[in-house]
Amino acid sequence: MNTRGQRVIDCCRTLATLTEEPGRTTRTFLSPPMLEVHRQLGNWMRSFGMRITIDAAGNLRGVLAGDGPRLLIGSHLDTVPNAGAFDGILGVVIGIALAEIASHHGSRPAIEAIGFSEEEGVRLGAPFIGSRAFVGTLDAATLALAGPAIRQFGLNPENIPHAHFSPDTAAYLEFHIEQGPVLESLQLPLGIVDAIAGQSRAEIAFEGQANHAGTTPMSHRRDALAAAAQWIGLVEQVAAAHDGLVATAGRMQIEPNAANVVPGRVTVSLDVRHGCDENRQAAFRQLLTGATHIAHRRGINIHVEPRLDQPAVPMDAGLRERLAAAVESAGYPVHHMTSGAGHDAMIVAPHIPSAMLFLRSPGGISHAPEEDVLVEDVEAAITAGERFLCLTS
């Protein structure tokens, strides 16, 4: 039986075949396959009366007339290299499906379904081009970087100011796969996002003394890698001791990186995330202090270069309550959670009241071809979305 959920999944899998790389899904900012994505989704939206535009940032936008302020539903259309079929685009397709359902009812809010042109930052190294243009925060340097791609796509970057959201827009709702294992571990189909976690990042360089591995006694070594390894263990311990905190030492450079040389310099990345800025910043300071203590005890010099201090972005309290009521009235358990990953909602939320609903990610897998969703979870999201529309109208 072709349920509403299965129809959405089939659409996402079809769109996943529109790719820059045959045999795997790679679709970056305004690459040629995006034209066909726009065509297929645009034809669907037109079939039930939506008015379609492509703004100067390449965002696909469809508006269904209704009563009162406009409800925006969307996510992004671009992918990482060798992606799955659901990250981003599932939220766009669910938004269109909800607009089609609403088109059969006389009483409804005005609905705008939007597919943001760029979120991942793959093609140009600059993320959120689509949503930043939409809310008016696209800086001149990024616009200059994106200009050639925009022109090549047949659009005019000088019209970027016209990509701004309509003044009658009242709320933004984004459906997205969780991209993690929490909902599956709890055996829940849906999760209400309370906040998108803030991020602190830094590069920590441990500087010791490179020396001969065979002739340097252990007591005389200033081993930068041993110091870094001890600190990486501390990163794991601190994160595990604080609820909701995640901390990662994900990249390492070793010099001279030879099997018979005591490492003289090691640079390690640090990524700390939490839904509460105070907790995140306190843990970040604790880890940097710990690195300093470890280095000093071992006779190692240390240099810290901050890379990012991104505040947490809370979702709108009123919309969270309305979304929880919609999930509950649809017959599903209400679970609140923090998003550890960034999403377009974090760009939109400071300008438009925003909410997010996560769908369970089987296996916790995302940004990979194995990425998946369950048809019953998509059906649950659509049903909750219908109830949300009723509460909004």
pLDDT digits (tens, 9 = 90+) for 194-246: 999 999 999 999 999 999 999 999 999 999 999 999 999 999 999 999 999 99
Q: With a cut of 90, say whether residue 1 has pLDDT above it.
A: no
Backbone phi, psi, residue 31, to 5°: -75, 160
Portion of the chain with pLDDT greater than 90, in percent: 96
In terms of Cβ atoms closer than 10 Å to its own Cβ (0-12, 13-18, 19+), residue 43 is exposed
157 phi-psi bin (left φ>0, alpha ψ -120 to 50, beta other): alpha
Per-residue HEC secondary structure of the chain comes to CCCHHHHHHHHHHHHCCCCCECCEECCCCCCCHHHHHHHHHHHHHHHCCCEEEECCCCCEEEEECCEEEEEEEEEECCCCCCECCCCCHHHHHHHHHHHHHHCCCCCCEEEEEEEECCCCCCCCCCCCHHHHHHHCCCCHHHHHHHHHHHHHCCCCHHHHHHHCCCCCEEEEEEEEECCCCHHHHHCCCEEEEEEECEEEEEEEEEECCCEECCCCCHHHCCCHHHHHHHHHHHHHHHHHHCCCCEEECCCEEEECCCCCEECCEEEEEEEEEECCHHHHHHHHHHHHHHHHHHHHHCCCEEEEEEEEEECCEECCHHHHHHHHHHHHHCCCCCCEEEECCCCHHHHHCCCCCEEEEEECCHHHCCCCCCCCCCHHHHHHHHHHHHHHHHHHC
- The CA-CA-CA angle for residues 135, 64, 169, to 5°, reads 30
Q: With a cut of 80, say whether residue 105 has pLDDT above it.
A: yes
Residue 257's pLDDT is: 97
Residue 60's pLDDT is: 98
pLDDT digits (tens, 9 = 90+) for 138-148: 999 999 999 99
Residue 20's pLDDT is: 97
Residue 392's pLDDT is: 76
CB within 8 Å of 140: residues ≥ 6 apart: none
Measured in whole angstroms, the distance separating CA 205 from the mean position of its chain's CA atoms is: 29
Using 50, 70 and 90 to split pLDDT, how confident is the model at 42? very high
Q: With a cut of 70, say whether residue 171 has pLDDT above it.
A: yes
Residue 108's pLDDT is: 84
Using 50, 70 and 90 to split pLDDT, how confident is the model at 44? very high
Residue 68's pLDDT is: 85
Q: Are 34 and 27 in contact (CB under 8 A)?
A: yes
> What does the alpha-carbon distance between residue 282 and residue 286 come to, in Å, rounded to a whole number?
6
Domains of the chain: 4-196+312-392 (3.40.630.10), 198-310 (3.30.70.360)
Cα distances (Å, whole numbers) of residue 342 to 82, 197, 275, 278, 289: 19, 8, 12, 19, 27
Average pLDDT over residues 24-30: 98
Q: With a cut of 90, say whether residue 115 has pLDDT above it.
A: yes
Tokens found for residue 367: 């940004």
pTM over 0.85: yes
Nearest to 360 by CA among 4, 11, 5, 111: 5
Q: With a cut of 90, say whether residue 106 has pLDDT above it.
A: no
Nearest to 384 by CA among 60, 4, 1, 2: 4
Residue 386's pLDDT is: 96
Task: Output the average pLDDT for the chain.
Answer: 96
pLDDT digits (tens, 9 = 90+) for 363-389: 999 999 999 999 999 999 999 999 999
Q: Are 129 and 57 in contact (CB under 8 A)?
A: yes
Residue that has been written with the tokens 């696909």 in this structure: 60
Cα distances (Å, whole numbers) of residue 220 to 48, 208, 211, 227: 76, 11, 10, 14
Average pLDDT over residues 333-343: 96
